[in-house]
Amino acid sequence: MWNSSIRFLRIVTTVLRYRLDTFIPIHLLPWYLKYTVGILLSIGRKGRERNRGERLRLALESLGPIFVKFGQILSTRRDLLPDDIADELARLQDRVPPFSGDIACQIIEKDLGESVDTIFNEFDRKPLASASIAQVHTATLKTGESVVVKVIRPNIEKTIKQDIRLLYMLAYFIAKTSTDGRRLRPVEVVQDYEYTILDELDLAKEAANTGLLQRNFDNSDLLYVPQIYWDYSRRNVMVMERISGIPVADIAALRAQNVNMKVLAERGVEIFFTQVFSHSFFHADMHPGNIFVDPSNPEKPKYIAIDCAIMGSLDDADKNYLARNLLAFFKRDYRMVAELHVESGWVPKGTPVHAFESAIRSVCEPMFAKPLKEISFGQVLLGLFQTARRFNMEVQPQLVLLEKTLLNIEGLGRQLYPDLDLWITAKPFLERWMSEQVGPRRLLDEVKKQAPEWAGHLPQIPNLVFSTMTHLSQQENRIQEQTEALNQIRKELRRSRHNQPFKLLGLLALGAAWVTTDNIALEHLADADILSLALFLGGIYLLVLKP
């Protein structure tokens, strides 16, 4: 509790020092807080000479790695943030001092249950790289393989949870006191951050993600994913094959190796669309620090991907939505784009399609003033999401990750090859994928997919057939009985309708007998005249005795 209070005071001091009162609705505070804040703002040494985005970035950097990470994730929410803030937050660097190599050894030994000397022939206690969540050491296994060992920072989970609680406090405060703050959905943003960063604390999950990505690109000449050593991977430790390659951002080194930059850029796009549409599982943290290039075949350079902590996945509905939206956009069919949003349920069903179509056109049409190769897919999606947000579109976390990754891929591709035409590369892929969703091939794929499940039921088929035939036979008997009963009822009804005139005549006859005599009781039948007696007996016959 004491530590939390000190941390909170440091956050408040940082907010005031960097004059982040820009983001705080001071006028809504109680009078005593207004005056207190007004006095404290005098310590804002950084003043307002910097723009608001820069001040926010510097404040987050001064608060340490957890807030830096939060800022990095926040920078991907361009559907919520103004461009000037998002651009500035994207510059946040995850520069964190390393922790002691001896502490890293203690964490490894605790998680693996063996000493470092037993597991490794060599272990470099000086880290190769250090980030906010973990750091990496180089090592050599007893079997001779060169590896890297990723180790989670000590006590980082406690620090993260403490800072997340404080972030929630700030988020709830902003949401309750500021209309603009509510528009940014601060509580939702903190929830997304909590989910993402807590996942990064579990290296067993990252190892599993790496293994799946590796299987998806097994024997591929597009992407290489390093081998995981499962015997030495746990929640706080992960041992992985050490790779060698040129960092993708090192353009000079790539050119020195005569790498075909056009092919390299196009392959990056192909890898992205393959992950999204063919595998439904994509690397969602593909910034330059996580991507290397194998230049051994310069005309067909191969990518190498590391750090699979953050991955995205799309279901068939998501993929169908994206492919159809992008194809409709480049055909300028804004009506289709609007209808797709409504059909998907991502905007309310009652949304007026005409008004939505008009809003989309106003955002997208200016993009076509540029050549197609200059149109950004990421900006297209961003424009669509921002427009849809005005029509109460719910945030789709998987699409936020996709948009972030697509922006990274586009930026990287055009850095490698400025004339990259993403549309020419992507359009055939999208059209091919759409054609595969209908027709015989899709049907065959579905049959193949269901075949194992059907095979499991094969031994039960004879019993199921016998049970079904018995049930059908019983049903047939019941139907026959019900049919006969219905026929009998019909006969009775027809007979009843046929006898109705006779019953009426019977009633008339009795009435006439009553009129013609004052008393036709049984004991006085002899005194009745002949006509009255005839009418009485005829009425009884027609009412009672006639079938």
The pLDDT, as a whole number, for residue 482 is 63
The pLDDT, as a whole number, for residue 514 is 54
The pLDDT, as a whole number, for residue 116 is 95
Which SS3 state, helix, strand or coil, does residue 76 take?
coil
Tell how strand 302-305 and strand 246-247 pair up: unpaired
Enclosing H/E stretch for 168: helix 156-177
> What whole-number percentage of the chain has pLDDT above 90?
25
Average pLDDT over residues 293-320: 90
Poorest-pLDDT segment among 82-96, 284-298, 335-349, 354-368: 82-96
Cα–Cα distance measured from residue 362 to residue 112, given in angstroms and rounded to the nearest whole number: 58
pLDDT at 384 over 70: yes
**Burial class of residue 106, CB neighbours in 10 A (0-12, 13-18, 19+):** middle
pLDDT at 48 over 60: no
3-class SS shares of the chain: helix, strand, coil, % to 5: 65, 10, 25
- Mean pLDDT over the full length of the chain: 78
Enclosing H/E stretch for 220: none
The pLDDT, as a whole number, for residue 287 is 77
pLDDT digits (tens, 9 = 90+) for 128-152: 988 888 999 999 999 999 999 999 9
Average pLDDT over residues 441-462: 59
How many Cβ atoms sit within 10 Å of the Cβ of residue 262?
Answer: 13
Greatest mean pLDDT range, 105-109, 169-173, 372-376, 488-492: 105-109
Average pLDDT over residues 397-416: 79
pLDDT at 222 over 90: yes
pLDDT at 522 over 50: no
pLDDT at 519 over 50: no
pLDDT digits (tens, 9 = 90+) for 87-96: 788 777 666 7
Average pLDDT over residues 70-80: 70
Average pLDDT over residues 185-212: 86
Q: pLDDT-based confidence at 494, cuts 50/70/90? A: low
> What whole-number percentage of the chain has pLDDT above 70?
70
Task: Map tokens 């951002």 to a residue.
Answer: 249
**Burial class of residue 53, CB neighbours in 10 A (0-12, 13-18, 19+):** buried
Q: Residues marked as binding? A: 128-136, 150
pLDDT at 323 over 80: yes
Structure tokens at 494: 């027809």
Confirm if 54 and 22 have CB atoms less than 8 A apart: no
Q: pLDDT-based confidence at 254, cuts 50/70/90? A: very high
The pLDDT, as a whole number, for residue 84 is 80
**Terminal C-alpha separation, the chain:** 98
From 285, 294, 307, 318, active-site residue = 285
**Burial class of residue 415, CB neighbours in 10 A (0-12, 13-18, 19+):** middle
Cβ-based neighbours of 126, under 8 Å, separated by 6 or more: 101, 137
Q: Residues marked as binding for ATP? A: 128-136, 150
Average pLDDT over residues 47-70: 78
Q: pLDDT-based confidence at 265, cuts 50/70/90? A: very high
Is 285 a known active-site residue? yes
pLDDT at 67 over 60: yes
How many Cβ atoms sit within 10 Å of the Cβ of residue 254?
Answer: 21
| Residue among 171, 123, 112, 176 nearest 149 (CA) | 123
Average pLDDT over residues 78-105: 80
Who has greater pLDDT, 35 or 390? 390
pLDDT at 192 over 70: yes
Who has greater pLDDT, 214 or 183? 214
